[in-house]
Amino acid sequence: MKQFTVQSIFYLAAATALAACGGGGSSGSGNPAAPAPAPAPETGTLSGAITDAAVDEVIEVNLRVTALELRQGDDAGQDPVVIDLTDPDTGEPMTFNLLDYQNGETLELFDGEEIPAGTYEQVRLVLEAPAQTPNACDGQDPLLGSYVVEDDMGTLAGIFVPSGANNGIRLSAPFEVPAGGSTAIVVDFDLRQSLHRPPPFDCYFLRPSYRIVETEDSGAIAGTVDVALMDGSNAMCSDDDPATGNAVYLYEGAGQTPGDLNGDDADASAEPFATAAVTFDPLAGNAGEGAYRIGFLPPGEYTAAFTCAADLERNPDPEGETEDERLAIDDLMFQQPQDVPVDTGVTSTADFTPEA
């Protein structure tokens, strides 16, 4: 795996050492002592990877990534630490299909980069996405930047990153790089929460909805879903196809009331912390159940719930004509919410089976 370099760490003013004059150097000679050299900054090393929680309405999400920007503290005006992810020979961005890295699979972005030690509060994944406004996507070649493949016919659509993402996003769980030590992080995307295509635009909006997790301090949840909960026979699904619309939503804290991606202040339902698509292949020898996995979770208590109507989930459209379009609060039906503890280095099990 190729190594990447840090473009900026700290800018330090060099201390100027004064040469001692004369040869005696005896007490009282009047020769000023040379100032002590400026101390070197304390540094540690950082490694980074990326992963995704699956969606089922597109078949590829191709990102062209140029850099990862990190900031200590919450001062947006400070110079960030910039880890360059372009090819050192060609200058081309790192390009990959995010949907290739699901269910615990990761893509290494960089390894062992030396950066200043400390706590990092903000991060920004810098994408090549040339459209400055959604309307600029109209008629633009999607291959000029990051893009989506929508269907088996190879229909392409560009990706637009809303301007709010250009200022970086505050991490919900900051990570620490110890002096003289090392830290490994995973950028965990959740495309179900961040990728959508509001009408009438020709591009997909990619909003900053991802988590940064220290891999050594994380666990996972995995399990199966019985086909009887997915085939529409209980009247809780969006259709009768057991291969569509299936997802597990995860909420922080035990005993949560499951809610959709866009919480309704009028009720007590929770907004999901993470989601995972349920994969189901009737030809793979497991025709009786689907499977899911949610990785890289901070230790703690969670509530997991299953829905077979996740394809009805909408994202808010700030330009929508109605309040319903602007808020996009969907009354999804969730099945069998259950409490699940997560411990470091452990994969907890949460299965969904028909109730007796």
DSSP per-residue string spanning 194-234: HEE--TT-SEEEE---EEEEEGGG-EEEEEEEEGGGTSSTT
Residue with more model confidence, 17 or 287: 287
Q: Does 256 score more than 50 pLDDT?
A: yes
Q: Is the dihedral of CA 104, 105, 109, 114 positive or negative?
A: positive
User: What is the model's pLDDT at position 15?
Assistant: 29
User: What is the model's pLDDT at position 40?
Assistant: 55
Average pLDDT over residues 66-87: 84
What are the tokens at 295? 């990785």
The proportion of the chain whose per-residue pLDDT surpasses 90, expressed as a percent, equals 37
**Band of pLDDT at residue 165, cut at 50, 70 and 90:** very low
214 forms beta bridges with 185
What are the tokens at 91? 């200058």
User: What is the model's pLDDT at position 194?
Assistant: 80
Q: Does 116 score more than 80 pLDDT?
A: yes
Yes or no: say if 170 and 74 are a contact pair by the CB < 8 Å rule.
yes
d(CA 268, CA 264): 8
User: What is the model's pLDDT at position 305?
Assistant: 96
User: Within 13 Å of residue 297, how many CA atoms lie on the same side as its CB?
Assistant: 31
State the amino acid at position 137 in one-letter form: C
Average pLDDT over residues 305-332: 70
pLDDT in tens, 34-63: 666 655 569 999 999 998 876 777 889 999
Rounded to a whole number of angstroms, the CA Rg of the chain reads 25
User: What is the model's pLDDT at position 227?
Assistant: 93
User: What is the model's pLDDT at position 356?
Assistant: 47
d(CA 237, CA 306): 11
d(CA 56, CA 47): 30
User: What is the model's pLDDT at position 255?
Assistant: 96
pLDDT in tens, 210-250: 788 899 989 999 999 999 999 989 889 988 888 888 999 99
Q: Does 23 score more than 90 pLDDT?
A: no
DSSP H or E run through 313: none
Q: Does 8 score more than 60 pLDDT?
A: no
User: What is the model's pLDDT at position 5?
Assistant: 37
What integer best gives the mean pLDDT of the chain? 80
User: What is the model's pLDDT at position 300?
Assistant: 96
Residue with more model confidence, 30 or 73: 73
- Rounded to the nearest 10°, the torsion over CA 193, 224, 220, 302 is 70
User: Within 13 Å of residue 159, how many CA atoms lie on the same side as its CB?
Assistant: 26
